[in-house]
Structure 1
Amino acid sequence: MIGIFSIGRARRASRRAKRTLSPTDWQIAADAWHRVADSLPRSARVWVQYGHALRRANRSAEACGAYHKAIALDRDLVGAWVGLGIAWKAQGARSSAMDAFTQALRLDPNALTARNELLLYGGRSEQPEPTHGRLAMADALAGLAVSLRETRDWQRDFNQASLFPLQDYAHFRRLNWVPAPEAAASIDFTVLIDADAATPVQLRATIQSLLRQTHGEWRARIEAPQALREHPVGSLCHVDPRVRFTDADREEPEEPTDWLLLVEAGTILAPDALGWFAWTANETACVAAYCDHDHVTLDWKYGPIHHDPVLQPVYDRHWFADAGVRPAALLVRRSDVDGKADLVQMLARMSSCPVAHIPQILASRLADASPPRPTATPVKDAGGTGGEARIAVIIPTRDNAPLLSVCVRSLIDKAARPDLLDIIIVSNRSAKAETHALLAELKRDASTTVLDFDEPFNWSRANNVAVQESRAELLLFLNDDTEMLSDQWDALVRSDLVGPHPAGMVGALLFYPHGGIQHAGVVMGVNEGGPEHEARWQSNDECGPLARWKRVRACSAVTGAFMAMPRTLFDRLGGFDEANFIIAYNDIDMCLRVRESGEIVLYDPRITLIHHESISRGANLTRDMVAWDCGELEALHRRWGQALFQDPGYNLHYTRQGYPFDGYRHPAAAEVEAHIRRSASDHPWAVSRVE
């Protein structure tokens, strides 16, 4: 009887906690369920409820213990495995969390919470059953009359079912075919094939792929040594008069075409490749165009095996500085080619011209022993680059003395020129004695200013006010819970903001204190929600697709935990929006305004920090906090509209559901065409507001 009364009290406490979402109320519920567990120690379901309450009270380690006791009593209890996975996730134990979610799905393939958690955590490949190609589900969607809620659930599952895990690329590639739209006018190509270092097999593959093109208005010119000309592969020039070798010993007549397609021998063009390039040249004002590609291993018996896709972003000169991701096929105007064309150098010269990106896998490079690998951007000596621009480092804080001390000391110790730093600490109603003692100590340094900000918390306003305390040319907005790891970080910031190709905003690579990436840029348009950090929860040494998390590149936005920009641009944009973004999304709004002005937001992983943000951030928000966050997200959407769902650096072939980059999808033809048109603008990374 005691147990029954205790269960009733515990259930009432849990219902109250669910209404408020308050950690304090969940603590009360946890205490109540603890008493029940003491009186009913053999009830697995009681231990599950106790675990749920502990987890929501921010006691994840204890929650794991409760779930383990439940599992020991009943290994088939799906709720225990799901709760255990969420508790492990809150502690950053990625592998253990994925194992728990996977076990829950083995017990119940319809455990949607486990499946969704696994997908959001980057574990698509860990699911115990295939998640793509379910044609029966498509039939059910078309033929069943179900309620609106059921339709939404089925539609979400169908969207997941149409995705392909990363390890199933070969299957995805076989089904990936979007026919080229009809070009409005005739386009005649000259295909320049670089075969100087090619084998006969490579040249044969390229020529034969040209002979299979659906767009027939082309001619091919091959640059090759004499030995290759005399090889039997040279007979293909007699098979089709459109194919011939160039003669280095005599002056070649000028090609009558306006467009040149540059490829290397060993590149196999998809049958519709020239058709897509023709449509792009007709429909946009581009001076150049490139496509996605992959690598292929040919097997005479089983056919081509496609692998290692290179799914490109919209044009970014930083990205294409690496020859490992150079396009396999580049369309350029004949007038822009002077002498022998080098794809990497040519792309670098086009930073101020409209360059179209065709998000279709239109080429495949023959693989030798191994495909060429992109490399992370090397750390260069930035000393002296950017002159002697002063940097104002603005750090809002409130009673966070231990972390603030580490933050400031690490900045100074790691700086190349600490004498060029103006450190401005914005103390927002700090009350603890240890905080005031630290601030008094820091103020003894002439380069450090402590600004008392006696107003209710407003992150945007606090930073705006602090900017007025310094005349520094560069501004760095920094969280007080960060610790700098990179030597000469300030020289890198100057190089990025004042160098030969200056950015409008610079962000950094952030790690969790106990390991794992917290931020590697921000990606838009995933999961139909707000902006998400790239690479969250991945291991520190994980490079990401095409080494993107370890290379300098343009991105949609960066976190306000570390964001640097020129003062002139900050003033021109009017600072942070104090009225609409008091707590959240102020950094995203600023990045979008930087892009709106035509400037680039740059992610620089050479600058690394530890960020002591909670791994379980957001798990314990109260109902009022959730409503506030949604209100600021609504304001962001009201201002920027579709810009929140379009990311120039996130290829259309990557999943929009679950963890970013965790699977492949087939974009619709209309989606591809719209992307091409946007990419061919003068400022493809720019956005427009809807207000």
Structure 2
Amino acid sequence: MKAPLPTSRRVTRFLGYFDQMDGLELKGWACNLAAPRVPVTLHVLLDGQEIGSVVCDLPRSDVQENIGVMTPNLGFSFMLPASLADGREHRVGLRFPDRSIVPTLITDGEDFLEEDIRAVLQPRYVYESFVDGFSRGALRGWVQQIDPATGSRKGQCELSVFMDGVPFARIRADRFRGDVAAAVGGDANCGFELIIPRHRRQTGQKTISFFAEPGAVELQGSPVTTTLVDDRLEAHLLSLNETVGRLHREIASLRTQIVNLLPEQRFNLADYDVWARRYFNVLRARVAERRQQLGPAFIGKGPLVSVICPTYKPDMTDFVAAIESVMAQTWSNWELIVVDDGGKSLEVAARMADYCRTDPRIKLIRLKKNAGISGATNAGIKAAKGEWIAFFDHDDLMVDVALEGMLQAAHGSDPLVIYSDEDKVDQAGYFQEPNFKPDFDYRYLLGCNYICHLTMVRADVLRRAGDLSATYDGAQDHDLMLRLTEIVPREDFLHVPEILYHWRKTPNSTAMTIANKQYAVDAGVRCVADHLQRVGHEARVEAINNLTIYNVLWPCGRQPSVSIIIPFRDQVNITRECISRILAHTAYKKYDIILVDNWSMEDDTIAFCQEMEKHKQVSVLTIKEEFNFSRLNNLAAASSSSDFFFFMNNDLFVEDADWLETILGEALAGADIGAVGGKFLYPNGAVQHVGVAVGPDGVATHVHRGLRGDDYGYIGRAVLSHEVTAVTAAGMLVRADAFREVGGFDEENLKVAYNDVDLCLKLREAGWRIIQCNNFVAVHHESLSRGSDDRPEHEARFFAETQYMHQRWGDVDLYRRDPAYSQHLMLDQNYYDLVTPE
């Protein structure tokens, strides 16, 4: 606190005092009575040593009004080095130019001492925060701690919560808030939510306050005064919500208001173990219901499944658990072939002999010499008698309904390869790191073996693909999957979107670490490169950061023509920057730029258009109509005869000279690729776009929005190129033939929003693939050009376009269940939150 002016002190020509220490910041004032208009320079001492000086030239109106001296600004502020916040006591003081001590107020705030302060220094805690209020029965908000010296923003702060002034809870603000990171930067893990327990949801007003710790700094938007919902009102609201949802689903705004009043347990990836234990009960019930529907004939006449389990010196506890997880299968028509790969373990041999006597479905093959993972697996496949062959590691676990769930999903569709989702289980039995996979994605498979476990292959198809090759040990399963793609059509790969397999996570397992697995990284690069060579593709393959994930860089090959189409209205500086970057940073030569001038009004724009048209690669198409993004792009495309269109916002800035060749190479890698999108970052480096997921719960969402630009993302999908259902037209390459085939953008119903999503859905429905190319990176100033849809004047139009998307696509499987995004992940978030199992 600032001190009152001193009433007396020793006579000196210098007057002043040191009245405040705010964290590491020293504050006070000083003046020279002999020369009051000359700022005084003070010396700063730490532990008796001078560490700097500070000039007293800051405003201090409280002092200037009281000392009666005509003097300019005389306040000072000095920031001590951050390294001094080391938990130890230090002596801090200031000296006038004549080396006399600047007086310091002691802790009782009444007297001044001419001595230094002794204190354990602490940094000043600066926070930016906001309490959003109630949503879905919880109080939500966010907070970031800001380092005053560097400006860096840190999440995962601790909060003290008070209800009616009484301590109520202590929580950590560590939930993912991509919207915050996108807006202000810093750590996206800065969100919090507080669910009020039922026994505290009494009627009547309650005041809830939030304070960031350390420092007890109250959050912006705190306190919140609200009337909590009691059980009786909650039941009434639930009933009302069901009625409204059934009779009037399209009134989304009303539903949101009601839902926001209702408590609902939410799960994110950090809650996966709790979610999984609830999910597996639901999964078992779902399989049992399907069993009843298919009837006893399905189980009685169902195919034999051969489970191949190569083993070499396993941990006995984990090995026993693995074998017994197969024995516990609800599907009874299986055989388990355990291949002892020259391990020569008497304990394993004895235990396996017991299992073979107990259950004739279990068979043991002993190899005299160690043949490696590929050789041992081949021996098991050779002995298998099943119609299906499943692959199983000797320390992993199958969910008890795994085989039955796989075969139920295959019933009636006759696939050749089936794979499920998977997770990991640690040594304490906690479920972790779920891998919710997309439907078959060849592009993603080139970057990593996302299929992995549990995988079942028709025995005849597997034998036609050939033995596993020891050349690729460490990546032998990846090599097998790629070889299967060479003989199995993509429609004959079936994804079962259920967690049916648990990787065992131990200190020495691949699931735990890639350390000392360089051979696996090298083998993975070779197997991908060899596969591409076999199918006639020239491409460069390289490991990403020396991990078992791979970057595939396609050469452009032939040189198709590209029209870069950029609508704009005025905003000359932004548009000029966009165009200048294209012209300066595009090595590919066979392109032109079509600037679509949508009724610009400013004089500067006329001169700008004339300037741009002097470039031989730039033309200007003037359209004097109301803004209709779809129509502007359609008209520009109609005026072009290029092989490809690149639809581009005027606030997208490219820097990499190879950007256009990169996405063209991606588009030319497959004759069925209709569109390619890029990875776009906000100016602060956070992710704005790495693909769009679609669905009736929210029409579309930008996955990974707000993530750090260099983060791998969920299962590598922020760095690996992969198939998606939609990409943003802020920067989207579209094959011209495909664009014309589906009728271009919808300029009647989707003038502003969702036109890119609708175009992508039409392309997917027509059989074209869409690639999210994460090798093409650019900076996007989202909505800088036309503003946000959240503004009140846009609400009616945005609502109508949202309703059209539901009506147009609501009955289409592609929209109801995005094949590139798991049904277990929520769409109404911008990161991977989990859908409550039901």
TM superposition score category, shorter chain reference: 0.7 to 0.9
Paired position in structure 2 for 1:581: 750
Equivalent position to 1:355, from 481, 484, 493: 493
Q: CA deviation at 1:275?
A: 1.7
> 1:163 — aligned with what?
266
- In 2, the alpha carbon distance for the partners of 1:535 and 1:646 equals 19
8 A Cα contact 1:141 1:154, kept in partner: no
Match of 1:174 among 277, 302, 307: 277
Q: 3-state DSSP class of the match of 2:420?
A: strand
Equivalent AA in structure 1 for residue 714 of structure 2: P
Structure-2 residue corresponding to 1:209: 325
Equivalent residues of 2:392, 2:454 under 8 A apart: yes
Cα distance in 2, alignment partners of residues 587 and 284 from structure 1: 32
Q: Post-superposition shift, 1:309? A: 1.6
Distance in 1, Cα, partners of 2:236 & 2:342: 69
Is 1:127–2:192 an aligned residue pair? yes
Corresponding residue for residue 342 of structure 2: 226
Q: Which runs of 5+ in 1 are unaligned?
A: 1-70, 669-691
Equivalent position of 2:651 in the other structure: 481
Moved more, 320-329 or 184-193: 320-329
1:414-429 to 2 correspondence within 5 Å? 414-417=585-588, 419-429=589-599
The alpha-carbon deviation at position 146 of structure 1 amounts to: 5.3
* Superposition pairs of residues 272-311 of structure 1, within 5 angstroms: 272-299=401-428, 304-311=429-436
Change in 2 beyond 3 A, CA 1:147/1:565: closer
Identify the structure with the greater helix proportion. 1
Tell me how far 1:235 sits from its aligned partner.
Answer: 3.5
Residue of structure 2 aligned with 1:388, choices 555, 559, 584: 559
Structure whose residues are more often strand by fraction: 2
Q: Residue type of the partner of 1:549?
A: A
Matched, 1:364 2:502: yes
Q: 1:621 aligned to 758, 782, 791, which one?
A: 791
Instruction: Report how far residue 570 of structure 1 moved.
Output: 1.1
Query: Which residue of the partner structure matches residue 673 of structure 1?
Result: none
The residue that corresponds to 2:642 in the other structure is 472
Match for residue 763 of structure 2 among 582, 585, 594? 594
1:242 aligns with 2:369: no
**Deviation of 1:394 (Å):** 0.8
- Residue-by-residue CA offset, 1:549-594 (whole Å, 9 max, x unaligned): 2221111211111111111111211222222222222111100100
The one-letter code matched in structure 1 to 2:768 is E
Corresponding residue for residue 408 of structure 1:
579
Unaligned runs of 5+ in 2: 1-125, 146-150, 182-187, 202-227, 243-254, 369-378, 469-475, 515-543
Equivalent position SS for 1:284: coil
Structure with the greater alpha carbon radius of gyration:
2
Q: Secondary structure at the match of 2:711?
A: coil
TM-score of the aligned structures, taking structure 2 as reference length: 0.61
Q: Give the 3 Å change call, closer, same or farther, for CA 253–633 of structure 1 in structure 2.
A: closer
Distance in 2 (alpha carbons) for counterparts of 1:176 and 1:619: 36
Amino acid at match of 1:533: H
Return the alpha-carbon distance in structure 2 between the equivalents of residues 391 and 77 of structure 1: 45
State the TM-score, normalizing by the size of structure 1: 0.73
Matched, 1:264 2:393: yes
CA distance in 2, matches of 1:641, 1:76: 35
Displacement after TM superposition at 1:442 (Å): 2.3
One-letter code of the match for 1:655? M
Q: What is the RMSD of the two structures over their aligned residues, measured on CA atoms?
A: 4.4
- Do 1:511 and 1:609's aligned partners in 2 also have CA atoms closer than 8 Å? yes
Change (3 A) 1:253 1:540: closer
Match of 1:190 in 2: 306
Distance 1:377 1:485 in 2: 25
Equivalences, count: 578
Per-residue Cα deviation, 1:50-77 (whole angstroms, up to 9, x for no partner) = xxxxxxxxxxxxxxxxxxxxx99xx999
**Contact preservation (8 Å) 2:340, 2:366:** no
Distance, in Å, in 2 between the alignment partners of 1:428 and 1:305 is: 57
Compute the displacement of 1:476 (Å): 0.6
Superposed, 1:509-658 pairs within 5 Å as 509-525=679-695, 528-614=697-783, 618=788, 621-623=791-793, 625-643=794-812, 644-658=815-829
Amino acid in the other structure paired with 1:371: M
8 Å CA contact retained: 1:214, 1:275? yes
| Separation of aligned partners in 2, 1:555 and 1:132 | 40
- Cα distance in 2 between the residues matched to 1:116 and 1:209: 35
| Separation in 2, partners of 1:277, 1:427 | 55
1:506/1:359 CA distance change after superposition, 3 Å: same
Q: Is the 8 A contact 1:134 1:161 kept in 2?
A: no
Deviation at 1:548, TM superposition (A): 1.4
Pick 1 or 2: higher relative contact order, CA cutoff 8 A, min separation 6: 1
Q: Tell me, yes or no, if the aligned pair for 1:229 and 1:245 is still in contact at 8 Å.
A: no
- Residues 197 and 580 from structure 1, CA distance in 2 versus in 1: closer, same or farther, beyond 3 angstroms? farther
Paired position in structure 2 for 1:689: none
